[in-house]
Amino acid sequence: METKHQKMPKVVKVKNKAPAEVQITAEQLLREAKERDLEILPPPPKQKISDPDELADYQHRKRKAFEDSLRKNRTVISNWIKYAQWEESQKEVQRARSIYERALDVDHRNIILWLRYAEMEMRNRQVNHARNLWDRAVTVLPRANQFWYKYTYMEEMLGNVAGARQVFDRWMEWEPDEQAWLTYIKFELRYKETDRARRIYEKFVSVHPDIRNWIKFARFEEQHGFISGTRGVFERAVEFFGDELMDEKLFLAFAKFEEGQREHDRARVIYKYALQHIPKNRTQELYKAYTIHEKKYGDRTGIEDVIVSKRKFQYEEEVKANPNNYDAWFDYLRLVESEGDLEVIRETYERAIANVPPTKEKSFWRRYIYLWINYALFEELEAEDVKRTRQVYKYCLELLPHKHFTFSKIWLLYAHFEIRNKNLTAARKSLGMALGMCPKDKLFRGYIELEIKLREFDRCRILYQKFLEFGPENCVTWMRFAELEMSLGDADRARAIYELAVNQPRLDMPELLWKAYIDFEVGLSGTDKARALYERLLERTLHVKVWMSYAQFEMSASEEGNVLARQVYERANQSLRGAGEKEERILLLEAWRDFETQNGDKESLENVLQKMPRRVKKRQRVQADDGTEEGWEEIFDYIFPEDEATKQNLKVLEMAKAWKKQKAKAEEEGEERKAEK
């Protein structure tokens, strides 16, 4: 028989393999299934029991299931509770009670088990059983407050007030937390037993001696109209806590109570007592309350005393904690000076200046020295005691370690003080001593200014000479000396000073000095001398700013200034071109271009524009400090047309040399061949 070949089904080719516009995720499928309730099974059918035998069979099956689960794991208390609750639902209270007892044998420390057992007894109105059960519970677990709360609540609901009180008394013997005591007190107050509540409060504050509990006790007495009792409670609390454990909250409550009773003198005494005995860092609220009290019930003097005393106490605490906290001393002294008591102010100043900085570093003395300055100014201006002021200055100058450092301000203040008191000799002597012991720029300048004001110019010259011997590199000093001579009309002296200055081997700011010298000559209409100075300066430096300043000078110096300025720019361009300073050369060309734009013609401007560089981007290797290569970086470079023309000429010369060398070689080879033939 011929077997027919079975045809394979054709595979459908998917023409469009692009993803669908709307994608469906697994999360979306699950969410749609839940929304349509596709996986929710229907509840089992309800079983109706209509026969005692059927009920007995049902109960037997359920009990067997519960017992099997208990045999598997006896320690799961939830199974016991479910079993007992089912028996209770079947009205089998005795069976439920038996199950709870069996569960207690398994775990007698489970609080939930005891609660469910007792609640079942109360639901079924088995009061004696419930009472016995609560007794057992509080005996086994006396620290479980839930049992006590439920027990007392049950007795109170049954109207057994005496029994509830007896339970509370048993509870309090265990010294529970604060809420238990307050619950007992509220219980007694519900039945108007104020004396009993007071006795409970007495025990309460002895067991839990916190300040807030004493305050609650005092408020209880106040609410029930026992004013003397309230005051007695506060006084006992103050005595109980003593000086070490005092807290401002207790005194605040005590003072507010006295305010409420209109005993403002008593409240004031309480505030003052508290402020004297409590550390100042814990009395912020107390000071606020005291201030408010004085504003309400005191006079202006009392209010000011409160504020001043508060700030004084704060400053005293600060300076006791850190005697070298000079900012606190300044604030303290300012407060004391506002009171105007000279003796107290002097005493405070003496206490402040006694705290000498521990090290001989100037940074630690910068704030301290102002204590002496303020002390001296106080004695001179406020106390008007010249003798004490002089003593303060002298003691301060003796105290300073002049070998390590000094303060020019003190020396100058002392000299001005002596001058105000018409003692010029002492002022000059003190400044001379300062320059001999610890010469400083500020001392020299202050001494010179003093002599200038006194019109003692010969002394000024001597001081400038000493100053320049001390610091010959200080350009400002040379300039001030020359300015002094110019102000006196002696130009030759000033020029000689400038000449000495510019010939110094080392200067801190030579550019300022040369500029001042050139301006000096220009001011005297010495154009040729100024031009000579520029030429001398260019021998020392070829900085672009010097060339630009020179060009500006030539442009404004004479009628042919434009021609001379252009020559300066050309010289500068050649000089910087030879030095290879591209950035400075660009600055010069830009300034030259601006000059030609304003003062030149098209030809001169075009000449400068042809010299302007072209900006190009280049790559160069980046090397680390240890010499390893880290890659490439892009930089911007400037190519000048003049430099390119020079390079092209050099290339032509090199090619000519190579051609000449090649020709000579060829001639030698030809001669050798002839010789061989």
Average pLDDT of the segment spanning 586-606: 69
Q: Of the ranges 256-260, 572-576, 614-618, 647-651, which one carries the lowest mean pLDDT score?
A: 647-651
pLDDT score for 646? 52
- Mean pLDDT is highest, among 122-136, 469-483, 501-515, for 122-136
Report pLDDT digits (tens) over 251-306: 778 777 777 777 776 777 777 777 676 766 666 677 677 667 666 665 555 555 55
Task: Report the Cα–Cα distance between both ends of the chain, in Å, rounded.
Answer: 106
Q: Of the ranges 257-261, 415-419, 623-627, which one carries the lowest mean pLDDT score?
A: 623-627
Please list the residues that pair with 616 across neighbouring strands.
Answer: 637
Do 483 and 452 touch, CB atoms closer than 8 A? Answer: no
- Mean pLDDT is highest, among 119-123, 237-241, 599-603, 666-670, for 119-123
Closest CA to 500 of 523, 525, 481, 528: 481
Q: Of the ranges 80-89, 125-134, 172-181, 378-387, which one carries the lowest mean pLDDT score?
A: 378-387
Q: Phi first, then psi: give them for residue 167, nearest 5 degrees.
A: -65, -45
pLDDT at 61 over 80: yes
DSSP 504-567: -S--S-HHHHHHHHHHHHHHTT-HHHHHHHHHHHHHH---HHHHHHHHHHHHHHSTTHHHHHHH
Report pLDDT digits (tens) over 143-170: 988 889 999 999 889 888 899 899 989 9
pLDDT at 645 over 80: no
Alpha helices in 400-440 (DSSP H): 408-420, 424-437
* Cα distance between residue 627 and residue 391, in whole Å: 67
Looking at 224-321, which runs of residues are DSSP E strands? none
pLDDT score for 148? 92
Residue predicted with more confidence, 558 or 397:
397
Kindly tell me the burial class for residue 221, based on how many C-beta atoms sit within 10 Å of its own C-beta (0-12, 13-18, 19 or more). Answer: buried
pLDDT score for 2? 45
The string over 268-281, giving b where at least 16 C-beta atoms fall within 10 Å of a residue's C-beta and e elsewhere, is: bebbeebbeebebe
Residue predicted with more confidence, 471 or 219:
219
Report pLDDT digits (tens) over 180-190: 899 888 998 88
pLDDT at 202 over 70: yes
pLDDT at 641 over 70: no
Sign of CA dihedral 587, 601, 535, 579: positive
Average pLDDT of the segment spanning 552-564: 64
pLDDT score for 1? 42
- Mean pLDDT is highest, among 37-51, 164-178, 630-644, for 164-178
Do 127 and 137 touch, CB atoms closer than 8 A? Answer: no
* Cα distance between residue 219 and residue 225, in whole Å: 10
pLDDT category of residue 634 using cuts at 50, 70 and 90 = low
* Cα distance between residue 16 and residue 13, in whole Å: 9
Average pLDDT of the segment spanning 68-82: 88
**In angstroms, what CA-CA distances link 18 with 103, 133, 217?**
67, 76, 83
Sign of CA dihedral 512, 517, 522, 528: negative
pLDDT at 640 over 60: no
pLDDT category of residue 445 using cuts at 50, 70 and 90 = confident
Which residues touch 583 (CB under 8 Å, ≥6 apart)?
A: none
Q: Read off the pTM.
A: 0.46
pLDDT score for 287? 65
Average pLDDT of the segment spanning 462-490: 71
* Residue 86 CA from chain centroid, whole number: 66
- Mean pLDDT is highest, among 40-54, 111-125, 555-569, for 111-125
Residue predicted with more confidence, 99 or 297:
99
pLDDT category of residue 428 using cuts at 50, 70 and 90 = confident
pLDDT category of residue 193 using cuts at 50, 70 and 90 = confident
Q: Of the ranges 74-83, 102-111, 152-161, 244-253, which one carries the lowest mean pLDDT score?
A: 244-253
Q: Of the ranges 119-128, 416-425, 618-627, which one carries the lowest mean pLDDT score?
A: 618-627
Residue predicted with more confidence, 570 or 421:
421
Residue predicted with more confidence, 81 or 482:
81
pLDDT at 67 over 80: yes
pLDDT category of residue 651 using cuts at 50, 70 and 90 = low
